[in-house]
Structure 1
Amino acid sequence: MTLASKALPAILVVEDEPLIRMEAVDMIEDAGFKVYDAASADAAILMMEQYDDIGILFTDIDMPGSMDGIKLATYVRDRWPPVAIVIASGKIDYDRMLAPLDSTFFPKPYPTGQIVKTLKDIASRLT
């Protein structure tokens, strides 16, 4: 069975900048995934509670609200362990030690081809 014939997990994009969020959503939808989006970690947690088809969290680090993307990723890993985590940021001083184990990191601006390949690789392991 090929990846195309399997049901792909939905991806939750969490990004506070509307234009960057729209670009990420478009990129991921163009790759064939169902996408939900949120502008904050708080909204993302509500979506995780509402939609059980989310298999991948794709989050920025710097966001307003009660937690940043690293804390959100840690929360999601603790509450929904099977969800894969992809973190993206323009921060130069990103510290892998703070991110949950087995998370994937991409710098901004997004390397579109690499991100799509990684998401498809993750999806093939999840489905």
Structure 2
Amino acid sequence: MSTTGTGIRVASVDDIEEGEALKVPAETTGHGDAIAVFHDAGEYFALDDTCSHGQASLADGWIEDGEVECPLHSARFCLKSGQPQCMPATVAQRTHRVEVRDGGIWLHPGEETTA
């Protein structure tokens, strides 16, 4: 992982397989929570890693059809907006901008995406 003025390079595009996620530690991002970077349908998304409902890592969840399902209580969140899609979650996950550049995946912690 490398840092520049234009984000943090967290992986190469070949490092995160389709339907998988990478957990980037808070120490690396300088953010209050670890950030999960998801690969779904050829796109990359990033959300705060800790589920807003319970203390579970969303990077360990199931990714499908633009959503991630929490491994603890099965709450689902939209990867684009962070909005909860079902109970028991009622609070959205914070999103972070991700870009693919020069074969790498660049994370911009604290820069929310617009869904």
TM-score by length of 1: 0.29
Higher helix share: 1
Higher strand share: 2
TM-score by length of 2: 0.31
